[in-house]
């Protein structure tokens, strides 16, 4: 029996010539997303603050281009929109991925393979008294560093998504007309945000601020999806990817000559069912799925190797 062409991966995940814009797309998870879309045939533009890093990403991976700017600054966001409008006239896929880690502190974490920070019976975590814990938390956390982290991890999602909404709506209009004419599956422009399983688990993972900002980002994506479909006539979807542990400058501490990060020495194994950190292929798969699947609206998709099955 011959294959049904409508069900072939090349049909279901056809992203050829789609215009994709990715904040924080030159390193870490954003680079994985950018590479996955680029190799699927998209015209990929990466956004970031460091021009030399952006230039290197475009050179190494053959992206369509880059836009330099600060996604926590409204005027610079509007400049990015104008630049993309001038370059392409529309956007089909917007990924709000830029983020930071924020202040850290001593505390419990069940994901370490050696159980060094595990509070469970048999774990090695030595509990602190109340005063020492108070001093530890207040020493490392401030209103200022919390606000700074929320600006990049949470606030930028709203401001960038809304600023790009007219270009995304234009992308949907053109795509719907073209796919109907060619008899192909419909495509709707989409916003994909990078949330985190840190916004789902109950433990603080030694960074209260990061987990709080990602919980807010996860929920903001659902709210954004509702508001766009309910309050506007823009045919634009919004969904979130909630990664577990992946190599990035945040987790690995740096990047190489290809803007990539490596966890093979720092974290060769993990206390999760998959037994390892996430890889580029894992992130590329879920990104292509959310970009292509028109029936996905307002969802948060966890891609964590089973982290949330083992961590409360």
Give pLDDT < 70 ranges for the chain: 1, 110-124, 248-270
Same domain, 134 and 49: no
Residues of the chain above pLDDT 90, percent = 66
Which residue range forms the structural domain that includes residue 116? 106-140
Taking only the tens place, the pLDDT of each residue in 263-274 is: 666 555 667 888
Same domain, 121 and 242: no
Buried b (16+ CB within 10 A) or exposed e, 288-298: bbbbbbbebbb
Residue 146 within a domain:
no
Residue 48 within a domain:
yes
The residue out of 114, 140, 166 marking a domain boundary is 140
pTM: 0.91
Taking only the tens place, the pLDDT of each residue in 47-68 is: 999 999 999 999 999 999 999 9
Same domain, 73 and 168: yes
Same domain, 263 and 166: yes
Residue 148 within a domain:
no
Same domain, 128 and 239: no
Residue 257 within a domain:
yes
Which is nearest to 241 in space by CA: 18, 37, 14? 37
| CB-count exposure of residue 252 (10 Å: 0-12, 13-18, 19+) | buried
Residue 16 within a domain:
yes
């Amino acid at each position: 029996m011959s294959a049904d062409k409508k069900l072939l991966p090349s049909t279901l995940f056809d992203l050829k010539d789609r215009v994709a814009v990715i904040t924080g797309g030159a390193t870490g998870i954003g680079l994985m997303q950018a590479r996955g879309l680029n190799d699927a045939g998209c015209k990929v533009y990466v956004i970031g603050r460091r021009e030399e890093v952006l230039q290197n990403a475009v050179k190494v991976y053959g992206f369509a281009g880059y836009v330099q700017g600060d996604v926590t600054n409204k005027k610079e966001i509007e400049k990015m929109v104008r630049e993309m409008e001038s370059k392409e006239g529309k956007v089909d896929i917007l990924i709000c991925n830029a983020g930071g880690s924020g202040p850290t502190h001593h505390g419990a974490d069940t994901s370490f393979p050696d159980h060094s920070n595990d509070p469970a019976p048999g774990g090695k975590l030595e509990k602190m008294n109340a005063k020492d814990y108070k001093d530890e938390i207040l020493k490392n956390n401030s209103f200022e560093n919390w606000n700074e982290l929320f600006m990049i991890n949470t606030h930028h999602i709203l401001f960038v998504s809304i600023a790009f909404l007219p270009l995304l709506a234009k992308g949907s209009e053109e795509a719907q007309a073209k796919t109907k004419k060619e008899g192909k599956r419909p495509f709707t422009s989409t916003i994909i945000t990078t949330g985190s399983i840190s916004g789902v688990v109950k433990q603080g993972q030694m960074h209260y601020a990061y987990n709080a900002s990602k919980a807010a980002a996860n929920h903001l994506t659902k709210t954004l999806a509702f508001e766009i479909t309910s309050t506007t006539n823009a045919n634009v979807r919004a969904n979130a990817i909630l990664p577990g542990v992946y190599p990035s400058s945040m987790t690995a501490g740096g990047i190489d000559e290809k803007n990539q990060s490596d966890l093979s020495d720092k974290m060769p194994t993990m206390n999760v069912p998959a037994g390892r950190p996430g890889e580029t292929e894992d992130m590329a798969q879920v990104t292509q799925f959310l970009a292509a699947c028109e029936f996905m609206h307002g969802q948060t998709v966890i891609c964590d190797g089973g982290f949330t099955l083992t961590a409360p």
